[in-house]
Structure 1
Amino acid sequence: MSTDPIPDTPATPTALDHTPPPAGPATSIKLLAEAAGTFLLVFGGIGAALFASDFGVGSNGSSLGIGFVGVALAFGLTVVAGAYAWGPISGGHFNPAVTLGLAAAGRFPWKDTIGYIVAQVVGGAIATSLIVLIGLFGPNGWLTAAQSGGFASNGFGDHSPGNFGIGGAITAEILFTGIFVLVILGVTHATRGTTLAGLVIGLTLTLIHLVSIPIDNTSVNPARSIATALYGGGDALAQLWVFIVFPIVGALLAGFAHRALFDGKSAG
């Protein structure tokens, strides 16, 4: 019989192993990431709309502005950048409707939604405040004209770029926010998702803007709508409720639907 000592064997984890998992980012860092991402989205998208969408014509008569296409791309590109820069920290919501839609789908804790939403609204408000600061040093009358024009706020009726009524705005916000959340839930799925999720989400937001800017200036994001309404005047504030309530309605419907249709037992 051998008298050699029995070699040590590595411990096998069991159900009784209470070793805590590696700690993720602190809540404060997650909230900072959400504020930063929403800041980037609003500053880039609204900045493009106010500074560059209609920049007059050149000496040959061609437009120097980026138009609806440029603004749509600006919103999409900011989401791509934010998703890859801060998404690994906070999940990269940058949108209260997305946060609530993810919670409805069982992908995000309901208890954490308020903190995320506050951070997003603050980030957006800082973005438009800095646009105002830049405007103070702009050409004479630029800031007054931007504010009297609604400051790129969302709107319906006389405040819709295409004169669409409130019914069109409500329908568009429910539909497009729902589509946006469904795409996000699909491309970020733990087993069916893609490493290109940030790019897909950004391109989807670009597409949504290309279609819906003429309808109501495209919200699908209450933080974006609040940020511009703060400086868009009384009419923008009076119509703001539509662009808070109905993006959230669309996101919640999409979240609950995705959970029932695609995340149930039959879907694996």
Structure 2
Amino acid sequence: MMHAFGNTPTLYEEKQMKKYFAEFFGTFWLVFGGCGSAVLAAAYPELGIGFAGVALAFGLTVLTMAYAVGHISGGHFNPAVSVGLFIGGRFNGKDLLPYIVSQVIGAIAAAGVLYLIASGKTGFDAVASGFASNGFGEHSPNGYDMMAALLIEFVLTAFFLIIIMGSTDKLAPAGFAPIAIGLGLTLIHLISIPVTNTSVNPARSTGVALFQGGWAIEQLWLFWLAPIAGAAVGAAIYRFVLANDDK
């Protein structure tokens, strides 16, 4: 592996690039698996997975990739998680922007592949179907307003960070964190799919919104603001209220 100017990258640089690739592939899998289950399966009732199946699919993507690449990058796959772990003192700020960029690119790539697959069915329309995008008001699955969307995305992301930080604590049982995190994300989706179609992840929201191309982009701000704010609060709660200072 060579740089453009012929310099061989250092071992540190190679490790950093592996982290960014791990975040790319992990976020790709989350969006492709979670949103793919919604677009390709849940949209057709006769196939029977329903919204509970979509919730489980999102949880399984995080669980499987946390085991697969979590030891490389920490397994964030979500800009809100990266920000939260930084606030919680678990993540180096110098990696924050590269992680977020890697996650967003991974989400867009996954949404692009999903769009190509979905377009193979006659009559598919990403704009009309919503393409698994997150929304509020008339674009909420059950018609919830903007304040309800803000509140649920904030609260659920805060608790997601508490789950993540608690299950990865040095005092927590070793090796079980991906299970707790994956099941936590499943529960989050079971609660909030009817409200916002569930984001708690700005990258996930961005990837599909770009292909929906209309209202999803207009409402995207909420699915960056609420999850990141919730993650920051949840991480601060764990760090300053719940964490054991004697460990």
Give the TM-score, by structure 1 length. 0.85
Shift of 1:110: 1.3
Q: Tell me what 1:232 maps to.
A: 212
Between the aligned partners of 1:196 and 1:25, the Cα distance in structure 2 is: 28
Q: Tell me what 1:167 maps to.
A: 147
Q: Tell me what 1:213 maps to.
A: 193
Classify the secondary structure of the residue corresponding to 2:188. helix
Q: Tell me what 1:19 maps to.
A: none
Shift of 1:264: 5.9
Whether the 8 Å contact between 1:95 and 1:120 is mirrored in structure 2 is: yes
Letter in 2 for 1:139: K
Question: Structure 1 stretch 156-165 or stretch 254-263: which is displaced more?
Answer: 254-263
Could you tell me which of 70, 73, 97 is aligned with 2:56? 73
Whether the 8 Å contact between 2:78 and 2:203 is mirrored in structure 1 is: yes
Between the aligned partners of 1:236 and 1:90, the Cα distance in structure 2 is: 30
**Sequence identity of aligned pairs in percent?**
49
- List alignment gaps of at least 5 residues for structure 1: 1-21, 57-62
Between structures 1 and 2, the one with greater helix share = 2
Count of matched residue pairs: 237
Classify the secondary structure of the residue corresponding to 1:231. helix
Q: Tell me what 1:32 maps to.
A: 21
Between the aligned partners of 1:27 and 1:186, the Cα distance in structure 2 is: 25
1:197 aligned onto 2:177: yes
1:141 aligned onto 2:131: no
Letter in 2 for 1:96: P
Classify the secondary structure of the residue corresponding to 1:230. helix
RMSD: 1.6
Shift of 1:149: 2.0
Whether the 8 Å contact between 1:84 and 1:198 is mirrored in structure 2 is: yes
Shift of 1:54: 2.7
Give deviations 1:78-133, integer Å, cap 9, x for gaps.
Answer: 11110000001000000000001001010001111001000000000000000111
Between the aligned partners of 1:217 and 1:183, the Cα distance in structure 2 is: 21
- List alignment gaps of at least 5 residues for structure 2: 1-10
Letter in 2 for 1:213: I
Between the aligned partners of 2:234 and 2:44, the Cα distance in structure 1 is: 38
Letter in 2 for 1:130: V
Whether the 8 Å contact between 2:133 and 2:212 is mirrored in structure 1 is: yes
Counterparts in 2 of 1:139 and 1:264: CA distance versus 1, 3 Å: closer
**Structure 1 stretches of at least 4 aligned residues deviating more than 6 Å after TM superposition:** 22-25
1:132 aligned onto 2:115: yes
Whether the 8 Å contact between 1:76 and 1:202 is mirrored in structure 2 is: yes
Could you tell me which of 232, 242, 257 is aligned with 2:222? 242
Give deviations 1:168-221, integer Å, cap 9, x for gaps.
Answer: 000001000000010000000122343111011000100000010000000000
Counterparts in 2 of 1:24 and 1:199: CA distance versus 1, 3 Å: farther
